[in-house]
Amino acid sequence: MLEPVDNKNETAGANPPKSKSYKDFFNYFGEERVVHDRFAEFRTRLISHIVPIFSRMGIVPDTISYVGITFLAGVILYFVRNPVVAVLFLAGHVFFDGVDGAYARHTGKASQSGAFTDLVCDQFGMVVVSLMVIFHHMVAPLIGAVYMALYLMVVVFGVIINAIGLKTRITVTSKYFLYLTYAAWAIWEVNLFAPMMTFFSAIMALQVLIGYLRLKRGIRKKFDSEVRFSAGDPYSGKLNYIFNLAIPALVLLIILIWGNWIPLRAMIDIPKQSVSWSQGIPLIPEEKTEQLLGFGIQNKDFLVLCRKPDDHLEVTRFSESGQAGQSFTIPEYVSPMFGTFPVDRNILLIPDDTTRLLMGIDLDASFAARQAVMVMTLPFKYLRVTAMTTGEWKGKKVWLAANYLYTRRTYVIDPEKALKKGYLLGGLIASYVNAGYPHGMVIRDRTVIEYNRSPLQKLIYAAPLKSVIAGTNLMDAAKTSFFAPRDDVFGPAIYGDSLVVLSPEGKLYKLPLAAFLVTTQKSDSKRTPH
């Protein structure tokens, strides 16, 4: 939205002299100035009847700005407790945001220092709402942080451009769109923060780039020497200019390649062997309309989590033949981080992205009660876990939790220690470098089997657990790799003597473990004496 920065001063007289135009003071708007002139004058006339009251009370424009900031405390306190009340406080902040500058103009003593106070106070509303949206998980932290940073950069660049006389062009910001988006969430519970922030971030990123280039060129013309290079200077010339641009670009490229070497390799890796998957009986009939969210395996049964047409979530026990058995419901807010759920004896482990907790569900009690009986919740904290399994390491039961691109590591966790410490990594025993895009994993015969779903190449790797923990990354340690039957499957998991995956439609695919594990075990036994 195109928005002005009103101007005001710190004192107001009873009989003010003719006011100066607020064009002469701090602002970050440009060619749309005529619109803002009219809007500002309208607000000045609108509050003219309360100006004498303020003047007799001795109120200065800065006080009005500070009152506007205090209303943001109400926004913070009621942001989720009572959103409608928070919207009213936000409306009060917007009102005082407009009144302070109009009051200063009406008194005829608008000033640069007052405009600066107005400018700073105005941006507090955007910062507070953005931080609350991030804090209450209404938008991904990265999107919220990028939006807020770009917004502030647009404002700062606009002010500097105007201050040094370059004249800002049209400035597009989105503060009021942000406020309206929050009002929509507060009244109708419609969350549009992600698309709104993403859209305006793209626009503001372009503005920041153009603003930097204009500032660079303008500052050079205004403050630098006209003759920067003498004739024959080795630093002059187009080739030297290109060379100097290429240096930072090359450094950036080296850092990006070095820091992303493993996932880049995973994107272009090729399978080491070809395998033949067989298709089993669909666990969910084709005429069913439920959405499959994930599955786990307990003994000979499949535990399938689906979102039903009425939006409730249900875990159903299926046999290999597709015969449905007992079921129970789980809370509707649950949003699984990944689609292959480990089963630790009688406990189904489901990772919830909404609360960022690993939930342990007692299967016997849940099937008996027909609703989830939680016996454990464990925070993930900063980890974005996209694959997890249970297994053994050095004779002890462990969990393996694979983190996505953020750390590119899979963590070997002692569950007892983690529960005592109160968070997943509290039980850390060891870790290793995975292939960057883990979407499912399982352990069998001291071999870790990971489905790595990179943007270009989607492969299943099988590597000795001992080798990867010793320091070799998963791809180098892998004795074999092969394609999944489809790119979008959940899995892998172990069912008897087969590796199984499940499609989003409920189709089951099987691969005998002997098709690839024999080679892996023989290779590992040659290297590891018994």
What is the residue extent of each domain of the chain?
22-223, 278-527
Q: Which fold has domain 22-223?
A: Four Helix Bundle (Hemerythrin (Met), subunit A) (1.20.120)
What DSSP string runs through 181-235?
A: HHHHHHHH----HHHHHHHHHHHHHHHHHHHHHHHHHHHHHHHS-S--S-TT-TT
Higher-pLDDT residue of 179, 281? 179
Cβ atoms of 74 and 38 within 8 Å: the answer is no
Question: 47-51, 76-80, 153-157, 168-172: which has the highest mean pLDDT?
Answer: 76-80
Q: Is 81 helix (H, G, I), strand (E, B) or coil?
A: coil
Q: For position 528, what pLDDT does the model report?
A: 41
Q: How many residues does the chain have?
A: 530
pLDDT value at 342 more than 80: yes
The architecture (CATH level 2) of 278-527 comes to: 6 Propeller (2.120)
Place of tokens 């008996």: 368
Higher-pLDDT residue of 282, 391? 391
In this prediction, residue 229 has a pLDDT band, given cuts at 50, 70 and 90, of low
Summary mean pLDDT of the chain: 84
pLDDT value at 418 more than 90: yes
d(CA 341, CA 333): 17
Q: For position 162, what pLDDT does the model report?
A: 80
Q: For position 498, what pLDDT does the model report?
A: 93
State the average pLDDT over residues 458-463.
96
State the average pLDDT over residues 430-438.
93
pLDDT in tens, 54-74: 666 777 788 888 999 999 999
d(CA 508, CA 459): 18
Tokens of 125: 């509303």
In this prediction, residue 324 has a pLDDT band, given cuts at 50, 70 and 90, of confident
Task: Identify the CA nearest to 134 among candidates 142, 126, 123.
Answer: 142
In this prediction, residue 525 has a pLDDT band, given cuts at 50, 70 and 90, of very low
DSSP E strand boundaries for 247-373: 278-279, 291-298, 301-307, 313-318, 324-330, 343-344, 347-352, 357-362
Dihedrals phi, psi of 235, to nearest 5 degrees: -90, 0
pLDDT in tens, 110-152: 677 777 888 888 899 999 999 999 999 899 899 999 999 999 9
pLDDT in tens, 343-364: 998 999 999 988 889 999 999 9
Higher-pLDDT residue of 237, 336? 336
Q: For position 431, what pLDDT does the model report?
A: 93
DSSP state of 19: P
d(CA 61, CA 40): 15
Share of the chain above pLDDT 90, in %: 55
| Predicted model pTM | 0.73
d(CA 116, CA 128): 19
The terminus-to-terminus CA distance of the chain in angstroms comes to 71
pLDDT value at 470 more than 90: yes
State the average pLDDT over residues 82-102.
88
